[in-house]
Structures are given as C-alpha cells and as structure tokens.
Structure 1
C-alpha cells in the first residue's frame, strides 16, 4: 500500500506542478504574470500538495464524495483569495489566463479523486463528476475554455467512465450528448476542442461538430474559441497541399516531400523508443509492404522523430525494411508533428499526388490501409 501511495503522490506532483513551468515558458507574459505563477507554484508545492496527499493518499480509504467536495471548496476559497491578492497588476488577458489556470487545477483535483476511488462504479463516478462541477460552480464559472482546461475536462470524463484517455470510442461522446444545461454545453465544447487539439478526426469532422454546436448553443461563450480552433485546422482540409517538409535520409542527403509529388505517400511517423511502432514493424509491416510491392506509384515513407540519428540508424541496420527512410528528429517538437497535431505515435497519413492531403489519420498498416492507398491512387 505504501508503494502505491508514493507513486500516487508522484503522479499528483507531475499532474499539478509541471504545468507551471511549461505555461510560463511557453508564452511571452509580463513580469507580473511570471511572479503570479511563481507564487501559485509555491502554493501548490508547499501547501496544496501536502493537503491533497493527506486527504487522498495518506489514508487507507478514499474520503466520501461529500467530504472531498467540501475539502475542494476550501481549496477553492484559498485559490480565489490568492487571485484577489495577487492578480491586481496583471493585464486583462493575463487575468483571464490565470483564472482559467485555477479552473484547470480544480478540474484536475476532481480527476485525482476519481483516480483514487477506483472502487466506485461508472454510474456513481459520473454522478460525482456532475455534482463536483455543480457544487464548485465550475460549470458556471468557466467562460474561457483553454486548451489545457478542455483537455482536463475530457480526461476527467474518461476517468469517470473508466475509459483510457485517447482511446477511440463512442461511449464518451454518447454520454456527453445525454448531459443537458451548462454542463452539457461545457463538455460538448471541451470534446470538440480536444478533438481538434488531438486531431482525432478530419477537418471536415471538426467542421460538422462546430456547426452542430453553434446550432445547439447559439450564444455560447465557447463558440468563438471553437471557430478559432477550426481556422487553425484549415491547412488540414482534405485536398489541401501539404507543406514541403524536408528530411535527411540514411546517406545524409536532403529529401523533400515534393520529390514524390507524382506518387501516393503512406507516411509513417515513428521513433526507435516507441514500443507500439516497433511492434507494428514486426507484426504488421512485412505483410503490408508485400501487398504493396507491385504498386510503384505508392511510396512507404518512414519518418523518424528520434532525438538523435544513432538510434534510428542502429534500428534500421538490425531490422532492414523496404521503403523510404528519413529522419527529422526533435520528437514531438518537430515541425511536421506540430503541423499535423501529432500527440502520439505511431501516426499514419496518406498524401496523394501533387502532395495533396488525403487522410491525416490514416489506418494502421493492414487491409484497410491498403484499400485506402489504392483508392487514393485511383486504382
């Protein structure tokens, strides 16, 4: 039990503490905002961390739902007071970000409870989540739905339903549709925003979702943010010309996408440290490559995002594969990863002739992928 508790505490630290340094470094905020976030980080590490640990992890059993919500409401008062005491010199947009950050932390506290109270059945967990948002007034207070906040709300919903976050399913979407009022609006907007952030579907899927949301919630304060998100995806419309990314091949030569504009490209983003990538290479790729061997106008392009070239080359030296092998490096910070909003690998794309995007979320190697590639080349 002690080992489990220690691991849970570490999870708590990462869950709440890491956001601060990432947020402050990510944007060019004022000195007042940096000081504000530094003070909030100090509060989390030196005060909140211990309080949450004592309530959730330093006990044999999780507290009751009612007791935990009461505990969080006290934390909420402290955070609100911190905001009142320290946000006076922030610019208006910084105040909005700071308030959203507090909302994000409170949503995450709710998810921590769901993570701790594993014995609760799904129905009870869903009831808790709805009560938690209502009694903390988060369903009313959240007006500025940031990326982190939308993701945290969706992670909480997945946790409530005991569904791994990021796993394709329709159950979460169906559950959100069943929720009415302010919470229904909040979760619907969060779901659409999260899908756009993670590019779980196509641009056209997001466009339909935003259109439906605007019809159901005409005056929603979240609508503008969703429309902005949709604009950011316009370059990923089906048929859009993909940016001419350049890579390095095994011989150290520059390779560009435009060199293959007369072919259909099946682009595989991977890394030598990615277990699922390597497993796919071993179990699916050989037969996949064999099925496409006679189609010279289809190129299998494997793009490594390893931080260093050595692991990439070492893997291919020991495990030769057909196709075009190139390196871009930088992991998830690579330009191509940001361009296609890649949050996990392996990730597959189909780029048609003239480098026009066919599918930014193509099927994994297998019969479905073969069929999609043959369709893309007009076979």
Structure 2
C-alpha cells in the first residue's frame, strides 16, 4: 500500500550551537493602550523537538519594558499580543527599540536601533504582500487552477516577492543574514506549494483521484542546489525537507511495510534521499516525533541507529534530550504536580485527587482535533457515570480567557477546568506537551498510569480507564 506522508508544521527556526556572551539581544520599548492580554516573544530553541521559548514583555507603570536574552544565531520569532501576532527577525547583538499600540498591533509596530531596518522591512512585507499573498490566495489558486497555471502563479509571485526585497528603498540597510533568510523563506515556500498542489487540489475539489500534472511539473526538484545545510534555520526549508520526503515516498517503486509508522518511514527516506546534515536533521525530527507521539518500541531502534551513525553531535544531543524527557514521564513515574485556578477561581492541585484516577487532557478552544474529541468525551462520561473515582481534568492552553470560558459553556464540557496561557511553561511544560490534544491517565497512587492513553473517540478507552480504576 502506497503511503503518502503529508506533514504540516507551524514552525519558526533554530540553529543549534551554544550561546556565547556576545549573543545577547536586547529589546526595549513602550506599548500604548495595553489590553491586559500577555505580550510575548516566542521562538524555537529546538525545532527538531518542537521546543519553544517564551519571553514575556512585562510593562511597568509607564507601559515600558526591557528584556534581554541570548540566541545562538540569527532567527525568526513571533511577537504576539494576545492572539494577534507578527513575525520579527533577531540577530545576536541586536539592540531594538519598539513602539506599538496594542489596540492596533499589526499596523503600528515600529522599530529603531540595531536591527531596526530588518524588522521594519519584515513588518512592512507582512502587512503588504503577506496579506495579499496569504494562505487564502494560494488555496483559491490551487482549487481553480490546472497544474501549469498554478506553476505560473507560484513562479510569478516568487518574482514579485524577491523584487519587493531588491527594489525596496532600505535594501542597502538590510543585513546579509536577513536577506538570506528572506530569500530562502520565499524560495522554499514556493517549492512547498508546488509539492502540495496535487493533494490539496484533490481535497479542495473533492475529487476521487489526484489531478493529472503537466509534464515537467516536478523538474524543480532536479536542481543540483536543492539541499543546503546552511538553511536549517529556515522554516520553509525545514518544511520542504519533510514535504520532499512525502513526495519521494509517493513515487517510490518499492513500498514500505504497513507495520512501519510514518516517522519510521521518514527516517528511512531521509537516509536514502537527503544528503548531509539536512538528512540527519529530518531524521532527528522523525525520532523526536516518534518518541513524543508514537510508540516507544519503534522510537528506540531509530534512536540507537542514529546515535551510532549520525555525524552531528548537536542533533544527537537533541534526540537524547527528548528521550530523557520521555522516560521521566513513563508509566510508574510520579506525575508532576501543579496548581492552577479552576474556572470558578478556586485553587486546585493535581495532588488533590490522589486516591482517584485522573483522565488529564491538555487542549485549547481553537484546536480542531481537540474539539472533535468533545462529543465522544460526553458519551464516555455517560458510560462512566457510575465511576465516582474517575476525574476528568482539563488544562487549556488558551491565551484568550473569554474564548476558553465561552467554549466550555457553549459545548457543556463537564469536568474540572483550568487554564494556563501557552504550552511553553507551567503544567504543559511539565508534561512535555508538544501538540494538542495531549492525554495522560494518572493512577490512584499519584503516578502516571498511561502516558499514551486512548482518546475518548478510540474504542479501547473504556477498557483502559476501568483497568486504571481497578488498580
């Protein structure tokens, strides 16, 4: 059976090396009309393990802030005000001053200081071409276009994007790392759109078969400079590596066994088709994903093989950190305790439920897969109504408290409800939450009973919960 791997990653980017004292970034500024929502800078410290760092911009009485932190290399980040966000670009040594109005976040952000030209350009691009050439534009083009027309659309928009850079009045002020970043993002985003055309056109048009592609559609994959180990800090390039492997698997004459997981297939394909550190980078992603969301028994052989064969010590260290973190949350290990306010404002700790079984869910109101588990969870609660020692504990990572509360009320989600903004700290970080929904079962003894339990929609969920209750 032909397996088509389609992997979509919402990522920034990261280059792995140890920071040194001259790699400090300082950002100061003032935010007018703050709304009370958290203002945060978010960046990836390890893309292969989906690990993000969050720096809160704490405002003083005059709405000013001052933060300093270290980054190992130039990288992209997200500056967000509640649920409104925009990308920025950071380089070691930057000393940025920011001014913005929280009531009109996207349109009022302006920078001065070291690194300001890069960021003012990047913000302008996002507000001009980024809006016009967003996901809605390309989704519509994919749906209505034949392959040759869509290829022309992608090629022409790439020319437009690169011309926006080269013809901009501040182009001479932009740093070389930023120019490299911007060019790579645009070029590999174009490649990703072409790789995703067939499957997306079929899905959007509800076709039984994928569209016929014109001859030479994939010729761009035959260029000698397709891979570049210097671009592992590019979101679009990292996405491209995985999309490329999905394409290669779809045309591979010899198919993999149905017993292999998607991550095991990625691991094997990366070794076969992607040379150098780019291939090892893709393998590290597959290992970390299998450790975090797959089967440990399948992840360990991949890990052992990688440790024995990989040339990058940095990537070896990354997968080892993931494996160590996973082992700390294996069944039988103490469940990390946490204390949060519940939806009624009462302080509640996980340890309050010792002696009972806790079905723990990390989720968010904006998460489609999370919400799809709500109806089956309601049915599960009916089936378990005669189990008073079973606690349904929900920890939302919503940054919008009103959205969280209204979703709980609108859908009648019963149980104990808590919220903590983002997955990067607090309870979600303690439980290594990389994607949502994430579930755990905590036993009566306060230890983890199951770190990969079935979700409410899965047929064996009753069996597993009853087994935990009987222990």
> For this structure pair, what is the TM-score category when the shorter chain's length is used for normalisation?
0.5 to 0.7
Q: Which residues of structure 1 form unaligned runs of 5+?
A: 1-14, 163-168
Q: Which of residues 224, 229, 234 is equivalent to 2:314?
A: 224
Residue 327 of structure 1, aligned match among 404, 418, 428: 418
| 1:1-379 aligned within 5 A | 22-24=86-88, 30-31=94-95, 32-39=114-121, 42=124, 57=141, 61-63=146-148, 95=177, 99=180, 102-116=183-197, 118=201, 132-135=220-223, 137-142=225-230, 144=232, 149-155=237-243, 157=245, 170=261, 173-174=264-265, 177-178=268-269, 180-183=272-275, 186=278, 189-190=281-282, 192-193=284-285, 196=288, 199-201=292-294, 206=299, 208-216=301-309, 218-219=310-311, 221=312, 224-232=314-322, 234-237=324-327, 238=330, 239-272=332-365, 274=367, 276-288=369-381, 290-291=383-384, 293-294=386-387, 296=389, 298-306=390-398, 307-308=400-401, 312=405, 315-316=408-409, 319=412, 321=414, 324-330=415-421, 332=423, 335-340=426-431, 342=433, 344-353=435-444, 355-365=446-456, 366-376=458-468, 379=471
On the 8 A contact 1:308/1:329 being kept in 2, the answer is no
SS of the residue aligned with 2:317? helix
Q: TM-score, normalised by structure 1?
A: 0.63
Q: Which residue of 1 aligns with 2:41?
A: none
* CA 209–104 in structure 1, closer or farther in 2 if over 3 Å, else same: farther
Distance 2:423 2:265 in 1: 31
The Cα of 1:36 is off from its aligned counterpart by 2.9
- After TM superposition, the score normalised by the length of structure 2 is 0.53
Q: For 2:369 and 2:236, locate their aligned partners in 1 and report how far apart those are by CA, in whole Å.
A: 26
1:9 maps to what in 2?
none
**Residue 336 of structure 1: SS of its match in structure 2?**
helix
Q: Take 1:128 and 1:29, find their aligned partners in 2: how far apart are those partners?
A: 43
Consecutive unaligned residues of structure 2, counting only runs of 5 or more, are 1-11, 13-75, 80-85, 96-113, 203-208, 251-259
After superposition, the Cα gap between the structure-2 partners of 1:282 and 1:62, relative to the gap in structure 1 and judged at 3 Å, is closer
Separation in structure 1 between the aligned mates of residue 267 and residue 429 of structure 2, nearest angstrom:
28
**Residues 1:240 and 1:148: Cα distance change in structure 2 (over 3 Å):** farther
> 1: CA distance between counterparts of 2:217 and 2:277?
18
User: How much does 1:110 deviate?
Assistant: 0.7
Partners of 1:161 and 1:72 in 2: how far apart? 28
1:149 to partner: Cα distance: 4.5
Deviations 1:305-332 (A, max 9, x none): 44226853774587363xx412214255
CA distance in 2, matches of 1:343, 1:159: 26
SS at match of 2:294: coil
Change (3 A) 1:240 1:193: farther
Distance, in Å, in 2 between the alignment partners of 1:277 and 1:369 is 16
SS in 2 for 1:139: coil
CA–CA distance in structure 1, aligned partners of residues 340 and 352 of structure 2: 11
Q: How many residues were matched structurally? A: 341
* C-alpha separation in 1, matches of 2:228 and 2:375: 50
2: CA distance between counterparts of 1:263 and 1:41? 51
Q: Which moved more, 1:257-266 or 1:142-151?
A: 142-151
Deviations 1:321-368 (A, max 9, x none): 3xx412214255663344445455433222345544444443112442
Query: What residue is the counterpart of 1:11 in the other structure?
Result: none
CA, structure 1 residues 143+273, in 2 after alignment: closer, same or farther (shift >3 Å)?
closer
Higher strand share: 2
Distance 1:149 1:235, change over 3 A: same
Judge conservation of contact 2:87–2:123 (CA < 8 Å) in 1. Answer: no
Q: CA RMSD in A?
A: 5.3
